Structure 1
Amino acid sequence: MPRHLLLRLEAPLMAFGRETIDNFGIIRDFPALSMITGLLANALGWRREETGKHDRLQERLVLGARLERPGTRLQDNQNARLSKDDKGWTTKGKPEERAGGAGTYESPHRRFRDYHADLSMLVALRLEPTDEPPTLDDLIAALDHPARPLFIGRKPCLPSRRLFAGWHEGESVSHVLRSVPLPNDSPEGARLQWPDGEGTLPGDRALDLCDERNWTSGVHGGWRPIREGRIRAEEESA
């Protein structure tokens, strides 16, 4: 059976980002395919300009996630007073200027960012094909000795524990997520999300998800089919 790599995502704050609406940075319940791609690429030391590497890694990833402890959500309100000649720093490599007339400089530069607090997520993934570099073993080496500091979603979200959580063999991603024992603090079970075609669960539902990034243009587009379901502690399969 295929070998799957397990990641444990835990941090005081995490952000599984989704589509930004105006100045609101909202989050989703599960990590996007693009977010895991970026996390692994950062550990490998790849630069943003190496878009071909990012696109190929994203194409090869087959992953699912299990939300074991949902935690709580909180919103950070960021305010900065910017005058006419001031500019806001961005990760795009271009400064962000204020738009509008002179009156806009009387109000603050505002951003709202949502976060998960005290959440615990298990991720199961494999690469197809398995022998193309980077391999799963290359990813483990990079995660344990990353080229740069790692973060889960946004730069302030530093992991609170080792990301590598072991190996597990399974016929599909959903099989792995079902068969890994649940922690003791998840007596009510867990929610699962996995790619369509990687198994089914009684009562699960099929959805279309937009979480793949075009690393050249820097935007998300297209939809991929996924499934979501729930397991309880007594329903875990060996």
Structure 2
Amino acid sequence: MPRHLLMRLEAPLIAFGGETIDKFGVIRDFPALSMVTGLLANALGYRREESGLHERLQSRLLIGARLDSDVQRLTDFQTAQLGKDDLGWTTWGTPEGRRGGPDAYSSPHLRYRDYHASLNVLVALRLEPAAETPTLDDLAQALDRPARPLFIGRKSCLPSRRVFAGWQDATNILEALKAVPFPESPIRLRLQWPDGEGVLAGDRVLDLCDERNWSSGVHGGWRPVREGVFDAPGGAT
């Protein structure tokens, strides 16, 4: 029976990023495959320019998630006054200024960022092929002794508890998510998992664009996932 690694993503603020349009940074309810890849790669110590390592890790990952708390969203309004000599840090290594000429610096830089408040998410994952490096054991060790600080979606979203949450043997991702003890009080739990990794009564199939091209830095392609709901009987987490 396949072994699955469990992660507990819990923090005062979490950002499962979606499509960013202009100055609006929206979020999704479930963690993207690219976000989990980035979190694990950060723990392993991969450098951003090592796109081949990121691509291979992403291609091997099978992930599913269970929301163990209600979704509460908030929008953070962010503003910064930049002078003409101020440059912003970017993930691609080139300092960024403001477009629009000298008049662009007469007003502040504005943007809106959505966050999940006090979210508690269980993630189950495995790697295929399992014997290739890094293995699940390598990932577990890296999560407990990360090469760099871990964050959940954005650098301000620091985990409030241990990310590595143990192991679960199960036939597929869905069964792994269902086998882990549920929250203490009964709750209708929402789940998302890859198509082909189990079926839940009343679930639906969606096409999700959450794979990153780590060379170009953009998202593309589609993968089928299932989303469903079931009533947890209540138990200890």
TM-score (norm 1): 0.94
Q: Distance in 1 between matches of 2:68 and 2:204?
A: 19
What displacement does 1:102 show?
Answer: 3.8
Structure 1 residue runs of 4 or more that deviate by more than 6 Å after TM superposition: none
Q: Which residue of structure 2 aligns with residue 232 of structure 1?
A: 231
Q: Tell me if the contact between 1:178 and 1:231 (Cα under 8 Å) persists in the aligned partners.
A: no
Q: Distance in 1 between matches of 2:161 and 2:85?
A: 42
| Farther off after superposition, 52-61 or 95-104 | 95-104
Provide the aligned C-alpha RMSD in A. Answer: 1.5
What displacement does 1:86 show?
Answer: 2.6
Q: Distance in 2 between matches of 1:39 and 1:222?
A: 21
Q: Tell me if the contact between 1:182 and 1:189 (Cα under 8 Å) persists in the aligned partners.
A: no
What displacement does 1:71 show?
Answer: 4.1
Q: Which residue of structure 1 aligns with residue 168 of structure 2?
A: 168
What displacement does 1:200 show?
Answer: 0.7
Q: Distance in 1 between matches of 2:129 and 2:207?
A: 24
Q: Distance in 1 between matches of 2:175 and 2:13?
A: 29
Q: Tell me if the contact between 2:29 and 2:71 (Cα under 8 Å) persists in the aligned partners.
A: no
Q: Once the two structures are superposed, what CA deviation does each residue of 1:89-118 show, in whole Å capped at 9, x if it has no partner?
A: 222212222222443322111121111110
Work out the percentage of aligned pairs sharing the same amino acid: 69
- Equivalent residues in 2 for 1:211-222 (5 A)? 211-222=210-221
* Count of residue correspondences: 235
- For residue 19 of structure 1, give the secondary structure of its aligned residue in structure 2: strand
Q: Tell me if the contact between 2:183 and 2:234 (Cα under 8 Å) persists in the aligned partners.
A: no
- For residue 116 of structure 1, give the secondary structure of its aligned residue in structure 2: strand
Structure 2 unmatched ranges of 5 or more: none
Q: Which residue of structure 2 aligns with residue 209 of structure 1?
A: 208
Q: Give, as a single letter, the amino acid of the residue that structure 1 aligns with 2:214.
A: W
TM-score (norm 2): 0.95
Structure 1 unmatched ranges of 5 or more: none
Q: Distance in 2 between matches of 1:49 and 1:103?
A: 35
Cα 1:218–1:119 shift into 2, 3 Å: same
Q: Which residue of structure 1 aligns with residue 49 of structure 2?
A: 49
